[in-house]
Amino acid sequence: MAPPTSSQIRPGRTLLALLVIILAMGASIVFQKAFVPKFGLDLAGGTTVTLSPVTADGKAPPQESLDRAVNIIRDRVNGTGISDAEVARSGDNIVISVPGAGRDEAIKLVATTAEMRFRQVLAVAAATTPPAALPTTAATPSSSAVTPSPGATPAGRAVSKAVAEPTPTPGVTRRARSHTATGERSAAGTRAKATPSPSPSATAGEEDPLAGQDVSGIDPAVLEAFRKINCTAKDRGQGAQDDPNKQIVACSQDGSARYILDKAAVQGSQITTASAGVRQDTGEWVVNLDFKSQGASQWSDLTAKAFGAQAPRNQIGVVLDGLVITAPSSNGRIPGGKTEISGGFTQQTATELADQLKYGALPLKFVQSSVVSVSSTLGQDQLRGGLVSGAIGLLIVMLYLLLYYRGLGAIGIASLGVATIATYLSVAVLSANVGFRWSLPHIIGLVVSIGITADSFIVYFERIRDEMKEGRRTLRAAVEVAWRRAKRTILVADAVMFIAAVVLYFLAVGGVAGFAFAMGLTTLIDIVVVFLFTKPLMSLAARLKFFSKGHKLSGLDAERMGRSGAEQTLQEA
């Protein structure tokens, strides 16, 4: 027996490639335990938050500021347009509906100002002065380990060619490190200066948190506020819009330390992009920032100024919404405008922070007028109705294919089945990785796409029958010639549908954008299924006697092809 030619085994390889793709998506779902896609607001319920603007003069806010706030909040809660979150204006208020999120999570997501500022640290102390006597000498730095003191600042550092570990509260020193663009290298001979030891009076139990620290150049009112601030309280200043032109007192994000910070040297408006990522050398999650040209120059000057100062003034406080999220010490001037922030982030917290910084700060201060939980009872009924209607539509299409195309209809039904599986797997993978939420508009888009997908099969089948009626010698030849002609029609039709979906997606919001996304997704899946499944399967079927001999149930019998049985036999002889 002669070995099969490349043309004979190509359909099998194509089908195998499609199987590998489907199995890979299935494995991703199993690994992530995302068997059921997340539901949108109308199907799973959620939280509706109403924000009311607050202005300094008590007057109505500018309309352009409200519009900008709507766009920023919409980008935060539904940046990709597929999470089914809705943001709309109601007079001067902004109403946000977030699917699935808890009340606290929804409020945190939409109401934070997300204005980051970089300030030089002027003084730092633990959140509260411990009653026990403090040590009278500074801890000795170790080359292999660092022992943080009570109230140490949260772990974190700013990185870009030069990297420095955060300096803890007075009494602890750290060894500085540096990085080049090609990797980590030891900063030989460079060591962070030790923080001055607490004074004997502090050891004796005096409650002055500034004992032993340089307070020159600090506003006396700020010094007094620093002594009085309680960073262990539930409300420790989070969400406050601080004045970038004044020195401030701020708590660390975890409430373990308090800071006096100089005027803002770099503001969040100078950030061009922010993204979450993983450091290759440590595997920790970080937030990468890129500054504008002015911000890059300001950042370079700030890191150089801090590097030449005594601790704790060699630290740079990274302040977000009134809290210090990290306070790394400078290890030298950092040019180039690229910075990395780390601080014990998880993937979720790093992504949340990057999104807030990327989409910008709200131009107005808002208060929550109301927070209401949304029920999904009505949506569940609509979901059942949508699924039932989709199943009925799919069943009718299958019956039509069987009655009209018979054996060819079975190939069409198999293609619809593969398209259904691929669509569900795609929805589940998108839901687990990019926040896709399955809502009623998405379901409508998927149901409508059943007809679009069936159209591609019908165009191909009709081309095959036309070729057979024109007297092509064999079914195999008709299958190949018909494909060359049909695929152009299929691609053009799907391209028109996909362009319409893209335009609708970018111009619309809310449910209409969700409908457009579903329609565009199924259009792409239709192309994949037709090219990787329907055509190869038809090529294999053409080798079967059931189709090639024109069986009455094949859909290619002589009667349907408009030829006599003798002519059909001669054609296939």
pLDDT at 184: 33
Residue 78: closest CA among 434, 443, 345, 323: 434
> What's the pLDDT at 505?
85
| pLDDT of amino acid 197 | 37
Amino acid identity for residue 512 in this structure: V
Residue located via tokens 């998927």: 446
DSSP 471-529: T-S-HHHHHHHHHHHHHHHHHHHHHHHHHHHHHHHHH--THHHHHHHHHHHHHHHHHHH
Residues 480, 511: contact at Cβ < 8 Å?
A: no
| Cα 460 to Cα 439: distance, rounded to the nearest angstrom | 33
| Torsion from C-alpha of 204, 207, 209, 211, nearest 10 degrees | -40
Cα torsion angle, 280, 345, 41, 389, sign: positive
Q: Check if the beta carbon of residue 272 is closer than 8 Å to that of residue 291.
A: yes
What is the per-residue pLDDT across 30-44, written as a single tens digit (0 to 9) for each?
Answer: 888 888 887 877 777
Query: Collapsing DSSP states into helix, strand and coil, what is residue 185?
Result: strand
Predicted local distance difference test score (pLDDT) of residue 568: 46
Burial state string for 137-154 with b = 16 or more CB within 10 A and e = fewer than 16:
ebbeeeeeebebbbbbbb
Q: What's the rounded Cα separation, in Å, for the pair 133 and 207?
A: 10
Do the beta carbons of residue 239 and residue 321 sit within 8 Å?
yes
Q: What span, in angstroms and rounded, lies between the C-alpha atoms of 315 and 157?
A: 10
Chain centroid to CA 406:
46
116-126/162-163 β-pairing: unpaired
pLDDT per position as a tens digit, 121-160: 999 998 876 554 444 333 333 322 222 333 333 333 344 3
Pull the structure tokens for residue 545: 């006697």
- What's the pLDDT score for residue 566? 41
At residue 188, the pLDDT reads: 32
- Quote the CA–CA distance of 228 and 302 in Å, as a whole number: 28
In the block, tokens 């036309």 appear at 466
All residues at 6 or more sequence positions from 280 whose CB lies less than 8 Å from its CB, including other chains: none
**Strand blocks (E) in 23-156:** 46-54, 86-90, 93-99, 116-126
Q: 45, 99 in Cβ contact below 8 A?
A: yes
Axis crossing angle, helix 475-507 with helix 440-469, rounded to the nearest 10: 150
Distance CA 284, CA 71 (A): 32
Rounded distance, CA 123 to CA 494, Å?
Answer: 64
| Cα 435 from Cα 440, distance rounded (Å) | 16
What is the pLDDT at residue 477?
87
- Consecutive 10-residue runs of the chain (573 residues): their mean pLDDT? 46 88 90 82 78 80 81 71 74 82 64 74 82 40 30 37 37 31 32 36 55 88 88 72 85 89 88 87 88 91 90 88 81 84 80 71 73 69 77 86 88 90 90 79 77 84 85 79 90 92 82 82 91 92 85 77 49 46
Q: Which residues pair with 366 in a beta bridge?
A: 53
CA 222 to chain centre: 40
> Which residues have a Cβ under 8 Å from the Cβ of 560 and sit 6 or more positions away?
465
What distance lies between CA 319 and its chain's CA centroid?
23
User: What's the pLDDT at 253?
Assistant: 81
DSSP 365-431: EEEEEEEEEEP-HHHHHHHHHHHHHHHHHHHHHHHHHHHHHTHHHHHHHHHHHHHHHHHHHHHHHHH
The strand pairing partners of 179, in sequence order, are 184
pLDDT tens-digit readout, 351-366? 877 776 766 666 677 7
pLDDT digits (tens, 9 = 90+) for 179-193: 333 333 333 333 333
Give the bridge partners for 53, in sequence order. Answer: 366
The two tokens of residue 115 are: 């204005």
